[in-house]
Amino acid sequence: MEFDANRPIYLQIADVICDRVLRGELKAEDRIPSVREYGAEIGVNPNTVARTYDILTDRGVLYNKRGIGYFVCEDAAENIVKEEREKFLNEELPNFIKKARLLDISLDEINKVYKNS
Amino acid sequence: MIKVDNIDFSYGSVPCLEKISLSLQEGKIYGLLGENGVGKTTLLTLLCGLKQVQKGSIEVDGFTPYRRDVKFLESQFYLPDEVSAENAKAEVFARSNGLFWPDFSIEKFMEIMGIFEMDPGKKMNAMSAGQLKKTWISFALACSTKYLYLDEPTNGLDIPSKAQFRKALMSYTREDSTIVISTHQVKDLENIIDPIIILDRRDVLLNASVQEITDRLFFDYGTTLNPDSLYSEQVPGGFIQVYPNSTGEDSKVNIEALFNTVHKHKDIIKGIFSHEN
């Protein structure tokens, strides 16, 4: 797996898992590989994968069945979308607007692109 | 559990390691880093009992390595950087020498050779340096020891072998193993090694997990220099810089930058990580 140089690996792995849930490749109640299996597959320390599973558990994407492993939550996709929406509105959109203002791009121009794409 | 307590070792009158203390826990893959000649290989050979400490002590699960109790020797494998080209086919060598390790499995050996796309029927003294190294790595992993010391394991491996090595290492080691990998090839192993140990001749400059490191240090890949930077380096597209993490934000460790930061500011780093050591 090729990683972005700037973002913590455990978050990048979390992104990949969330993407797979959103695309429907991972469905509710699917079992995901153990931290060691997944670590071996992508060439990453199992501790790092364990951190990924921890934050995804906090985010309501995965849950742990003691002694069996990690599974995808029933409402995983909804939880991801909810969080992504918040992130987009609070972080990405303000940056986008800042840049649009800097380049003197009007709301009309943005609207045109929004409608056409 | 390995406990290294205040050890000294010198080669004749030339001091090598002085007053080194360190503890290593189960289930971790330690990366042992350090400049040329600081004693990384010496430390590994002391841990596995090939050399005797001149002061201080080493204890591995209650054993003193240099006493070389059979039970202790069975529990470990040390793979040196330079390995011997035995006059035997790889499989034959593995079968006969694996007997010394109670958990050795020839099936595992064959599987790992398979991951490396190696022919186990080839004679080891007819192999290239890289092929020989892969055979020895396969053997070391197939011994399934609790302690595994690898000195520069990716030296001489070709490009595909490096990913194969990572895969084999994580698929075929025991969950409770302590693995210590000394390396200069940080790019090959940067996502594997955690915790990271940075050794100096008279000190262990750092022994911390990746999480502890990113809790305390921030690795910034931006375009503007921060006045608090302990270290900065120009790269295409801006800078890599390292400064104390004051916001609690997470970043990705760049091992080269970490190494250089630690070397440039030994005392500051010790202060930042003080309650870890």
Return the HEC string of A75-86: CHHHHHHHHHHH
Query: Which residues of chain A lie closer than 8 angstroms to B252, CB-CB?
Result: 3-9
Q: Say what the pLDDT of residue B202 is.
A: 87
pLDDT category, A4, cuts 50, 70, 90? Answer: confident
Instruction: Flag if A36 and B214 touch (Cβ within 8 Å).
Output: no
- Residue A1 reports pLDDT greater than 70: no
Q: Say what the pLDDT of residue A3 is.
A: 76
Sheet strands side by side (includes A31-32): A31-32, A69-72, A62-65
Instruction: Flag if A43 and B209 touch (Cβ within 8 Å).
Output: no
Q: Say what the pLDDT of residue B236 is.
A: 85
User: Mutation test of the interface with chain A: which of B29, B30, B170, choosing the one with the most A Cβ atoms within 10 A?
Assistant: B170
- Residue A95 reports pLDDT greater than 60: yes
Q: How far B161 CA sits from the closest chain A CA (Å)? A: 12
Note whether A39 contacts B: Cβ–Cβ < 8 A. Answer: yes
| Regions of chain B where pLDDT drops below 50 | 276-277
Residue B37 CA, chain-centre distance (Å), reads 15
Q: Which of B163, B170, B194 sits opposite A36 (nearest CB)?
A: B170
Nearest to A69 by CA among A24, A34, A25: A34
A47-78, pLDDT tens digit by residue?
A: 999 999 999 999 999 999 988 999 999 999 99
Nearest-5° Cα angle at B198, B195 to B203: 125
- Residue A6 reports pLDDT greater than 90: no
Percent above pLDDT 70 for chain A: 99
Instruction: Flag if A5 and B221 touch (Cβ within 8 Å).
Output: yes
Q: Say what the pLDDT of residue B277 is.
A: 42
Provide the terminal-to-terminal Cα distance of chain A, rounded to the nearest Å: 31
Query: Which residues of chain A lie closer than 8 angstroms to B248, CB-CB?
Result: none
Q: Which of B167, B194, B221 sits opposite A47 (nearest CB)?
A: B194
Residue A36's φ and ψ, nearest 5 degrees, are -75, -45
B73-101, pLDDT tens digit by residue?
A: 999 999 999 999 999 999 999 999 999 99
Cβ atoms of residues B189 and B183 within 8 Å: yes
B25-74, pLDDT tens digit by residue?
A: 999 999 999 999 999 999 999 999 999 999 999 999 999 999 999 999 99
Q: Say what the pLDDT of residue B237 is.
A: 82
Q: pTM of the prediction? A: 0.90
Cβ atoms of residues B127 and B87 within 8 Å: no
Note whether A67 contacts B: Cβ–Cβ < 8 A. Answer: no
Cis (ω within 30 of 0) for the bond into B195?
yes
B239: closest chain A residue by CA? A6
Q: Say what the pLDDT of residue B275 is.
A: 65
Q: Say what the pLDDT of residue B276 is.
A: 47
User: Mutation test of the interface with chain A: which of B223, B241, B251, B252, choosing the one with the most A Cβ atoms within 10 A?
Assistant: B252
Query: Which residues of chain A lie closer than 8 angstroms to B166, CB-CB?
Result: 40, 43
